[in-house]
Amino acid sequence: MLSNGRGAHGGSTAEWAVAVLLSIYRDLPAFRALQADGVWGFKDTETLIGKRVVVLGAGDLAVNLAARLAPFEVEVTLVGQRARDGVVALADVDALLPDADAVVAMLPATKETYRLLDAAFLSRLRDGTVVVNAGRGNAVDTDALIAELTSGRLRAALDVTDPEPLPPGHPLWSAPNLLLTPHVAGSTEGAWDRALRIAMDQIHVFAKGGRPPNAVVVPN
């Protein structure tokens, strides 16, 4: 029996995604730079309220993100491998992209998700769209994203990259319109305690002859 740790990092990762969306829309990096220069640079900013957010993924991370975006009156669409109640099939995602204000990738690393966000995918997004990756780095075609960031057409926040860790001198370090963190979205106080509790709960259920809630179906 194989069981995973679903639930250990979902809340923390979703919190990170909300934080970077707020940071980008409220232009916090620019205000921090003004502070460093001693400049009182008043300006209006965008808002997260009312934005249309497409979440690539429909598992624990995505569900947690949708819950945390709800107070901002955001229109959230979850995208999964197959269509079901509240989830759009990945095969139909192209129709969602032109109207999205933000696309948040919370995907596992599989052959289906490898470089899903490639040049063609990114080209379907309208100018100013925010691309967020809090899943696996190889879901994004790094070169294609750098091209869009450099042109100024798209904005992004990445907690995971391809390659990872980024080597010194990699173009992502200096890419414009990018907020970059070193795979810390799920790394918060208490995360490992939660993971341990979840693991112990799975073991207790299994020891009593039950099926752990996080049991994984392994293909033959």
Q: Torsion-angle region of residue 208: left (phi > 0), alpha (psi -120 to 50) or beta?
A: alpha
Which of 164, 170, 194, 197 is labelled catalytic?
A: 164
Identify whether 165 is preceded by a cis peptide bond (ω within 30 of 0). yes
Which of 124, 170, 183, 197 is labelled catalytic?
A: 183
Which of 9, 136, 148, 155 is labelled catalytic?
A: 136
170 is catalytic: no
Judge whether 79 and 89 are in contact, CB under 8 Å: yes
For 173, the token pair is 């370090």
Q: How far is CA 138 from CA 83, 108, 184, in A?
A: 24, 9, 17
Report which residue type is found at 96: L
**Residue 143 Cα to chain centre, angstroms:** 18
Q: How far is CA 95 from CA 77, 81, 88, 124, in A?
A: 12, 15, 10, 9
115 is catalytic: no
204 is catalytic: no
Q: Which residues are catalytic?
A: 136, 164, 183
